[in-house]
Amino acid sequence: MDSESTDRAVVGRVAHLDVTAVKGFTVVATDRITVTETGVLGNREFFFVEPTGRLYSVDVDSGLLPYWSQYEPSTNRLRIGRGADQIFDESVPADGRTAEFEFESSARLGRFVPGPWDEWASSVTGRTLALVRSVEPGGAYDTYPLTLQTEASLAALGAEADGSPMDRRRFRMQLTLDEVGSAFVEDDWEQRTARVGSCFMRIGGPVPRCVGAEHNPTDLSRTVKVLQTINRVRGPGFGEFGRGLMFGVYASVVEPGIISLGDALALDPA
């Protein structure tokens, strides 16, 4: 059934799609994403871990946040860079040992992928890090495979220090919608199912924000106090993981598919 069928209400359109191949890196814009049962192909395929097995993440250390990463499954190549500079463009080995790692929502299998990125990431962060690839495609997400926010909600938080619109990359979400009714309306969609492109998803609860949102993803500056702003604009909220400062919502995959820029997000009847 078409996503704009009369039994569904169109509540917004996809203005931006953002992904990162490696967890903890900045997200980069793309025109289309392929959503599978386990996650978004090319998004959060990889993550770094410390010798204890603890996952490296932005709330632990923001040192890798200014770097971008891209993975192309068809060529099995991982690219890493910063700004216009490319640092790596390497084939990913597939014969590393596997281990189980604890994510926020569950334990998941990963395969170590030794290469030049280990020494590089360790030197950047001052930590001993090793790169791991999720055994399940796109499976290195924290809680749910999809997240979304709206342009109206971003606008409600004000502007960056230079007066430009609030940088959506701070929140590291895959979908940003425009043409929505009002700020934070996405919170009202919890437990509703929706079509966007050929993907069918179930909207989840609000996303608790951590200190990672405080860092400007380009230069790591912390001039804009994002968490204080969320607290001032809307106050603490409650979600699946308790009380916190919330922004954006989770989503789970009901039916895999492709999402492209401009696709309508249409909610099923409540």
Supply the pLDDT for residue 73.
87
Is 4 a domain residue? no
Q: Residues 127, 148: one domain?
A: no
pTM attached to this predicted model? 0.93
160 and 260, same domain (yes or no): yes
Q: Does residue 139 lie within any of the structural domains?
A: no
Say whether both 76 and 152 belong to one domain. no
Q: Among the three residues 97, 113, 134, which one is the final residue of a domain in this structure?
A: 134
> Can you give 169-204 as a three-state secondary structure string?
HHHCCCEEEECCCCCCHHHHHCCCEEEECCEEEEEE
Residue 44, amino acid: R
226 located within any domain: yes
Please indicate, yes or no, whether residues 39 and 91 belong to a single structural domain of this protein.
Answer: yes
Q: Do 36 and 71 belong together in one domain?
A: yes
Mean pLDDT by 10 residues, the chain (270 residues): 61 97 96 95 96 90 93 93 96 92 91 96 96 95 95 96 94 96 95 97 95 89 94 93 94 98 93
Strands 146-150, 175-178: pairing kind: parallel
Element (H, E) at 259: strand 257-260
Q: Tell me, what CATH number does 184's domain have?
A: 2.40.33.20
Q: Is residue 2 part of a domain?
A: no
Domain assignment present for residue 1? The answer is no
Q: What's residue 111's pLDDT?
A: 96
Of 176, 163, 169, the C-alpha closest to 223 is 163
Residues 45 and 89 in one domain: yes
Residue 125 shares a structural domain with residue 156: no
Q: Can you give the residue range of the structural domain that contains 111?
A: 20-134
In this prediction, residue 7 carries a pLDDT of 76
Same structural domain, 111 and 123: yes
Question: How many domains does the structure of the chain reveal?
Answer: 2
- Domain boundary (107, 134, 161) is at 134
Query: Can you give the pLDDT at residue 6?
Result: 53
Is the domain of 128 the same as that of 149?
no
Match 């820029």 to its residue by tokens.
Answer: 261
> Distance between CA atoms of 119 and 128, rounded to whole angstroms?
8
- Model pLDDT, residue 2: 43
The pLDDT score that the predictor gives to residue 237 is 93
Same domain, 46 and 103: yes
